[in-house]
Amino acid sequence: MQLASFSLVQITSIAMSVRIILIEALYSIYVLLQILVYPLLVVFAIVEVLKRWFRRLGCSRMPSLCGEVALITGSGRGLGRETAIALAKLGCHLAIVDIQEHLANDTAQFIAENYEVNTRAYKVDVRDYQQLLDLRERVTNDLGDVTILVNNAAIITMSSIDDPPVHEIQRMININFTAPVLTTKVFLPKMRELNRGYVVNISSLASMYPHHTFNVYGASKAAVRHLTSALRTELLEAKSAVKAITICPSFLTTNRRVNDVVKALKLNRILADLDGEVVAQYIVEAILRGETEITVPHCFIWLRRIVATLPAAATERLMAFIGGLVDPKCRENELAQALRTDDGVPFDS
């Protein structure tokens, strides 16, 4: 209590204040330099946006994906399965990877019956580095070198929304974040050697908006987005033709749990039906058009750009306000119930 009556100046020595002023002054020079080159950055950004619109209008030549080997994690069901089917339509051979073998078999069988491409199902836990090394070996023998990798496998398990137990936190981080790191480590080197290929990392809109209901989820998806962006700078520096693409979808209707949550929050009244088929189309188009980072729907990227110009305090106040509109009772009951249902993915030891 007594401390509170001291002013800041009294508890900070003059020397320390001077040091801080000098540090701020020095670094302000760098900020000033960035402001000076800002007009150039804006011109660059406009050129990039025009190029992208040009591509979206279908004015530029699209690459053919016919004959490429695509590996999709978590393609037993949901978005992964639909993405596999969309790529099969374009003539890609498919490695269907899922921890749930019967689902993987089912997708592979469906593709084999309906499309003229080679396809195999693989039961793999994408958290396990050794299994991924074996997978690379088997897929290369069965289908050829993988030139399209889609990191889609992810889980949702939270027995408590705001305070998930440690083992669940670790399990989610392992599948949603560590797995894409490992698959990239296993499959990217060959693509770089061939100087050809695409890695698609599925992030989420939740990676762009801070809110405690997606605590670890949002953070793991933000990490995926950030690392994919960092990897792109590496590929650009190395003048590699390999493309790394981030997809950030809004709520999908693919996952039963997410559906239940959306219903519990009554969000289904205001959201459009984003099923796996339509999001898979966004993914395939992003590959064909050479996109880097897209949101589904595309226009939501502008929400993020506008929010990004605000100070963190303002964004957080906005998110807390929106969160506060949600009925707290339904969060406790229906929402928790929806999140608790089993996702069929076994726990690791």
Ligand X SMILES: *[C@@H]1O[C@H](CO)[C@@H](O)[C@H](O)[C@H]1NC(C)=O
Ligand Y SMILES: NC(=O)c1ccc[n+]([C@@H]2O[C@H](COP(=O)([O-])OP(=O)(O)OC[C@H]3O[C@@H](n4cnc5c(N)ncnc54)[C@H](O)[C@@H]3O)[C@@H](O)[C@H]2O)c1
Looking at the annotation, which residues are catalytic? 217
For 145-161, give one letter per residue: b (16+ CB within 10 A) or e: bbbbbbbbbbbbbbeeb
Would you call 119 exposed, middle or buried from its count of C-beta atoms within 10 A (0-12, 13-18, 19+)? Answer: buried
Of 20-28, 152-160, 269-277, 287-295: span binding ligand X (CB under 6 A): 152-160
Report residue 74 as tokens: 């978590």
Q: Which of 149, 150, 249, 295 binds ligand Y (CB under 6 A)?
A: 249
Report the Cα 324 to chain-centroid distance in Å: 26
Q: Which of residues 63-82 bind ligand Y (CB under 6 A)?
A: 73-74, 76-80
In the list 97, 155, 186, 335, the residue contacting ligand X (rule: CB under 6 A) is 155
As given in the structure block, the two tokens for residue 254 are: 């693919």
Peptide bond connecting 297 to the previous residue in cis, omega within 30 degrees of 0:
yes
State the CB neighbour count (10 A cutoff) for residue 192: 15
Residue 147 makes contact with ligand X by CB under 6 A: no
CA distances from 147 to 29, 83, 272 (A): 44, 15, 33
Between 86 and 125, how does the x/- string for binding to ligand Y read (CB under 6 A)? ------------xxx--x--------------------xx
Instruction: Report whether 154 contacts 171 (CB < 8 A).
Output: no
Chain residues 192-221 in contact with ligand X, contact rule CB under 6 A = 199, 201, 204, 216-217, 220
- Smallest separation (angstroms) from ligand X to the CB of 151: 6
Query: Could you tell me which residues come within 8 angstroms of residue 125 by beta carbon, excluding any fewer than 6 positions away?
Result: 99, 131, 348
# binding residues, ligand X (CB under 6 A): 28
Torsion of CA 219, 224, 229, 235, to 10 degrees: 160
User: Which is closer to ligand X, CB of 87 or CB of 121?
Assistant: 121
- The binder of ligand Y chosen from 71, 94, 172, 175 (CB under 6 A): 175
By CB under 6 A, name the one of 149, 154, 199, 244 that touches ligand Y: 154
Q: Choose among ligand Y, ligand X, none what residue 70 binds, the Cβ cut-off being 5 to 8 Å by kind.
A: none
Count of all residues that appear for the chain in the document: 349
Determine the interface stretch with ligand Y among 18-26, 110-118, 162-170, 251-259 (rule: CB under 6 A): 251-259
CB of 208 to ligand Y, least distance (A): 11
Minimal distance, residue 236 CB to ligand X, in Å: 12
Q: Using CB under 6 A as the criterion, what x/- string covers residues 215-244 for binding ligand Y?
A: ------------------------------
Q: How many residues bind ligand Y (CB under 6 A)?
A: 29
- Interacting positions 168-187 with ligand X (CB under 6 A): 172-173, 176-177, 180-181, 184
223 binds, among ligand Y, ligand X, none (CB under 5 to 8 A by kind): ligand X
For 96, the enclosing helix (H) or strand (E) is strand 93-98
Cα–Cα dist 98/100, whole Å: 5
Q: State the DSSP H helix or E strand holding residue 188, giving kind and residue range, or none if neither.
A: helix 179-194
Nearest to 190 by CA among 117, 120, 135: 135
**Burial class of residue 20 (count of CB atoms within 10 Å of its CB; 0-12, 13-18, 19+):** exposed
Q: Quick one: what does residue 338 bind among ligand X, ligand Y, none, with the CB cut-off 5 to 8 Å set by partner type?
A: none
Contact set with ligand X (CB under 6 A): 101-102, 105, 121, 151, 154-156, 172-173, 176-177, 180-181, 184, 188, 199, 201, 204, 216-217, 220, 223-224, 227-228, 231, 244
Contact set with ligand Y (CB under 6 A): 73-74, 76-80, 98-100, 103, 124-127, 152-155, 175, 202, 204, 249, 251-252, 254-255, 258, 345
